[in-house]
Amino acid sequence: MHRTLFATSSLIAASSLFALFAFASVAFGDDYSIVVSKKTLADPQWNKVVETLKQRHQGTVVSYDSLAEALPALQEQFPRHTCFVATREEASRKFVADVHRLTRKYDDDPYTDTLWGILTGYDAANALEIASTKKPLVVQRVASGTEVALDRCKEGIWYCELEKHRMVRKKVGETQAQEKGPADTTKALADTLADYKADLFVTSGHATERNWQIGFSYRNGYFTSKSGQLYGVDTEKKKFKINSTNPKVYMAVGNCLMGHVDGPDAMALAFMKSARVNQMVGYTVLTWYGYGGWGCLDYFVEQPGRYTFAEAFHANHHALVHRLETEYPKLARVNVLPGKTTGYNEGGGLLHDRDVVAFYGDPAWNSSMADGALNWEQKLTQKGDTYTLEIVPLRGPDTFHPVNKNGAQRGWRPIVHFLPHRIKDIKVTAGAELSPVITDDFILLPNPREHRDGAKYRVEFTAKSR
């Protein structure tokens, strides 16, 4: 499933370069925590959602009156996945920020310590449908309202938000080609969900909790929502329902507020209910910097098959935290109210984005891109207590360059390698010049940027199993 390569099934993850190694001694593989308020757990319909997750993942339930009360149990369990089950009333902007901050506290390093997701829905029945989905998703068809790297996809179509009539299509086994699209793409985009049955949907452009403006620099229609139903409204004011039945993932990479659940009419809930979105990434606030959203494309679409959707989201977040920690360490210690930036500069932008991008859905549901072209191979091997991560360039001098530059803060992301178990007592024995960050569950290498013939990218370290 993943293109991240392991030489042995006993591989386990690393502890931190920050020398913070006092972690809970819980090896992880399939371990899974379900965090839910006592009020929601007591509701019979929502209890079914929790029980479904518990049975599917052999999960442990952690209930709370106040979310912070869950931390001691989570620190003890130290789960690979943490699913926060929440009603639409609970899944607020503040809740998303609180989850971000809570999941960075399982241990003492500054990074998120678990693959988390917030499982919500228009109602309990909608949430149960998401929780009950067992079949993994391999993304074959991609549809987008903005430019995406279709050369990394099996097939797909995107409609330009900047230039009227511009669209690009890629058919299976063929190269992508530009075509002339309709002036109003409202119905065409709706059809990619309903008829084309896209597995991944991507959007950008102006939006609120109630609508998505399809054209960014020209007049076009829009999507809107009401009571869990998604609608299209074209430039002739014709309104039509949008319904889709195939489970899919949705990346609202550049939209303001698309991930903010502020009531029953929220766009996010309509995508979950009537468009059958099982996992979603979206901003809960106005977006202007873009690192937390657009960068998910760098890991998910542009490294096809390497990461699950949840891993891609968290890889991008690790990249954001790493940049804050290395370039703006004072800001990295600041918590602001969601959406209240400390300045419209790079450091302020990273801080603005850090806790405001939501990941909705079951984080253990396996959704990934179909295997496709990669810029490099990354391979981790183990011999005794010695681990070696090797990066093999595949595209010559362009290996580490951006794949696609559409959007904000694109490209130059660090290399992130997730590990299936935890380790401790790490000592780097080779490759320190690459400035690796080795945590208890992943390894991060800053992007080398320029590759020259003969250059080697190899990190060796020793570690003990937890």
The per-residue pLDDT for 439 is 94
Indicate the average pLDDT of the chain. Answer: 93
Across 65-78, average pLDDT? 97
**pLDDT score of 449:** 96
Kindly state the greatest CA–CA separation across the chain.
67
For the cut 70, the answer to whether the pLDDT of residue 18 exceeds it is no
Full DSSP string of 113-181: -SEEEEE--SSHHHHHHHHT--S-EEE-EEEESS---GGGSSEEEEE-SSSTTEEEEE-TTS--EEEE-
Each residue's pLDDT tens digit, 88-126: 999 999 999 999 999 999 999 999 999 999 999 999 999
> Residues 79, 54: contact at Cβ < 8 Å?
no
pLDDT tens-digit map of 361-395? 999 999 999 999 999 999 999 999 999 999 999 99
E strand or H helix at 391: strand 386-393
Tokens of 426: 């790490």
pLDDT at residue 344, as a whole number: 86
Sign of the four-CA dihedral 442, 443, 445, 446: positive
What pLDDT, on the 0 to 100 scale, is given for residue 233? 98
List, as one string, the DSSP characters of 56-121: HHT-EEEEESSGGGGHHHHHHH--SEEEEE--TTT--HHHHHHHHHHTT-SSSSSS--SEEEEE--
Q: Does 406 or 341 have the greater pLDDT score?
A: 406
- What pLDDT was estimated at residue 466? 80
Band (pLDDT 50/70/90 cuts) for residue 10 is: very low
Is-contact 78 105, C-beta < 8 A? no
pLDDT (0 to 100) of residue 204 = 97
Q: Among residues 241, 318, 314, 243, which one has the least CA distance to residue 279?
A: 314
Q: How far apart are CA 237 and CA 233, in angstroms?
A: 6
Tokens found for residue 356: 């405001």
Phi, psi of 126 (to 5 degrees): -65, -45
Q: How far apart are CA 259 and CA 250, in angstroms?
A: 11
Sign of CA dihedral 406, 412, 415, 416: negative
Q: For residue 16, what pLDDT is reported?
A: 34
pLDDT at residue number 397: 96
At residue 30, does pLDDT exceed 70? no
pLDDT number for residue 423:
81
Q: How far apart are the first and last CA of the chain?
A: 26
State the burial class of residue 383 (Cβ atoms within 10 Å of its Cβ: 0-12, 13-18, 19+): exposed
Strands 200-203 and 248-252: parallel
- Contact (Cβ atoms closer than 8 angstroms) between residue 225 and residue 231: yes
- pLDDT of 13 reads 32
Residue 355 contacts residue 96 (beta carbons within 8 Å) = yes
User: What residues are paired with 391 via a beta bridge?
Assistant: 378, 457
Q: Residue 245 corresponds to which amino acid?
A: T
Q: What's the CA gap between 406 and 149, in Å, rounded?
A: 9
Q: Enumerate the β-bridge partners of residue 390.
A: 379, 458
Q: At residue 299, does pLDDT exceed 50?
A: yes
What percentage of the chain exceeds 90 in pLDDT? 91
Report the percentage of the chain scoring pLDDT > 70.
94
DSSP classification of residue 355: T
Contact assessment for residue 378 and residue 445, using Cβ atoms and an 8 Å cutoff: no
pLDDT band (50, 70, 90) for residue 421: confident
Q: What is the pLDDT of residues 187-213, one digit of tens each?
A: 999 999 999 999 999 999 999 999 999
Q: What is the pLDDT of residue 14?
A: 32
pLDDT tens digits, one per residue of 75-97: 999 999 999 999 999 999 999 99
Q: Is residue 304 predicted with pLDDT exceeding 60? A: yes
What's the Cα-to-Cα distance from 132 to each of 110, 114, 126, 135, rounded to whole Å?
Answer: 33, 21, 10, 9
